[in-house]
Amino acid sequence: MNSDIEREAHESKERKKNLIKAVEAIVIVTIVLVSGFLTYTTLFPSSQTSQTLKAAIVDHLSLKYPNDTFIQTCTSILMNAGFTVDYYESSKVTVEFYRNLPTYGYNLVVLRVHSITHEPEVANYTGLFTTELWGETRYAYERATDQILGAALIPYHEGDPIYFAITSEFVRLSMSGKFNSTTIVMMGCSALTYTDMAEAFIEKGAKVCIGWNGLVSNTHTDYATTQLLKHLITEKQVIGQATTKTNEEVGPDPESNSTLTYYPAEAENYTIPIAKNSLESDTSGT
């Protein structure tokens, strides 16, 4: 009887040993698989171009200068390159919209937005319009901290509406979240006469800002931006090349002689990510 008990005890120990070995084998295989996956993703990271790319067209100018052809053309360029495109007409361009803009995860933002500049007496020289009418009791903290100012369209006549406009200080202090290495095209007047707005966007996670170094008409900026997007998106040119080629094709603004430029200079050789296989059928850019 003792031998039977000893045999059962021995068999029980063997079963435990085998179970432990099986568990150890599973753990080892799991570790190997996880390590292999981590090594692969480190050496061969998934490209952003394999993910869904998002673009926004923010059309404040539609308030006074709608251009459906521009919107349709730019949307087509972006969608053909694999972007999903969100369009924001003028009424959507509010202080709160700007506040949340980084959280939407856009890879490219086209700001068809009026902008203003003033003499560099304070740190934030550049403002981007909203369509919210100025009110003395609204955004008191932002106004007190130079994040918001009043702006009017030119030529200004007495009694014309005054709108809230955000400054670079608003971008730094009040925008939520971070941009996703975003390319930002600022179509308004003098958006890059000074670099304060672009610097603030870069600090918030943008990759590069493109804009005008002086006044520009709405027709000229629409034409130039269409050409710019063709070079950047359809032809996959780097920032420096696409900006230079656009300036050569469209010329400076006829009245102000302003041209497109970009910030920072280090973005000269940056290429905007494009979805894989999106351009196989047409890379001519015509």
For 74-116, what is each residue's pLDDT tens digit? Answer: 999 999 999 999 999 999 999 999 999 999 999 999 999 999 9
Whether 144 is covered by a domain: the verdict is: yes
**For residue 23, what pLDDT is reported?**
42
The pLDDT of residue 121 is 57
Whole-number percent of the chain with pLDDT over 90: 69
CATH number at residue 139: 3.40.50.1460
Q: Taking 70 as the threshold, does the pLDDT of residue 15 lie above it?
A: no
The model's confidence at residue 123, banded by pLDDT at 50, 70 and 90, is: low
Residue 95 sits in the same domain as residue 208: yes
Task: Give a yes or no: residue 281 inside a domain.
Answer: no
Domain contains 278: no
pLDDT digits (tens, 9 = 90+) for 146-192: 999 999 887 778 888 999 999 999 999 999 999 999 999 999 999 99
Strands laid side by side in the 208-212 sheet: 83-88, 53-59, 108-112, 183-186, 208-212, 260-263
pLDDT confidence tier of residue 125, bands split at 50, 70 and 90 = confident
Instruction: Identify the band that residue 277 occupies on the pLDDT scale cut at 50, 70 and 90.
Output: low
- Sorting pLDDT into bands at 50, 70 and 90, what band is 44? very low
Domain identity same for 35 and 86: no
91 and 147 together in one domain: yes
Residues 6+ apart with CB under 8 A from 84: 52, 53, 54, 55
Average pLDDT over residues 214-219: 96
Check if the beta carbon of residue 262 is closer than 8 Å to that of residue 243.
Answer: yes
In a domain? residue 282: no
pTM over 0.85: no
In a domain, 214, yes or no: yes
Both 33 and 65 in one domain: the answer is no
Residue 233 is assigned to a structural domain of this protein: yes
Q: Is the pLDDT of residue 46 over 80?
A: no
| 26 and 87 together in one domain | no
Q: Is the domain of 131 the same as that of 95? A: yes
Cα separation, 246 vs 229, whole angstroms: 9
pLDDT of residue 286: 32
Residue 47 has a pLDDT of 40
Same-domain status, 5 and 146: no
Q: pLDDT value at position 26? A: 44
**251, part of any domain:** yes
Residues sharing a CB contact under 8 Å with residue 224, sequence separation 6 or more, in sequence order: 216, 246, 247, 250, 260
Q: Quickly count: other Cβ atoms within 10 Å of residue 226's Cβ.
A: 17
Residue 187: give the domain boundaries: 48-269
- Are both 180 and 225 inside the same structural domain? yes
For residue 91, what pLDDT is reported?
Answer: 96
67 and 115 co-located in one domain: yes
- pLDDT bin (cut points 50, 70, 90) of residue 52 is confident
Counting the structural domains of the chain, the total is 2
CA distance 134 to 140: 11
CB atoms within 10 A of CB 50: 11
How high is the pLDDT of residue 8? 52
Report which listed range, 2-6, 11-15, 118-122, 185-189, is most confident. 185-189
Do residues 151 and 162 touch, judged by C-beta distance below 8 A? yes
Buried b (16+ CB within 10 A) or exposed e, 122-135: eebbbbbbbbbebe
Chain mean pLDDT for the chain: 84
Asked whether residue 284 is domain-assigned, the answer is no
Q: Is the pLDDT of residue 5 over 80?
A: no
99 and 149 co-located in one domain: yes
pLDDT at position 3 over 80: no
Q: Does one domain contain both 30 and 100?
A: no
Evaluate if residue 60 carries a pLDDT over 60. Answer: yes
* Whether residue 185 sits in one domain with residue 142: yes
Q: Which of 56, 63, 46 is nearest to 83 (CA)?
A: 56
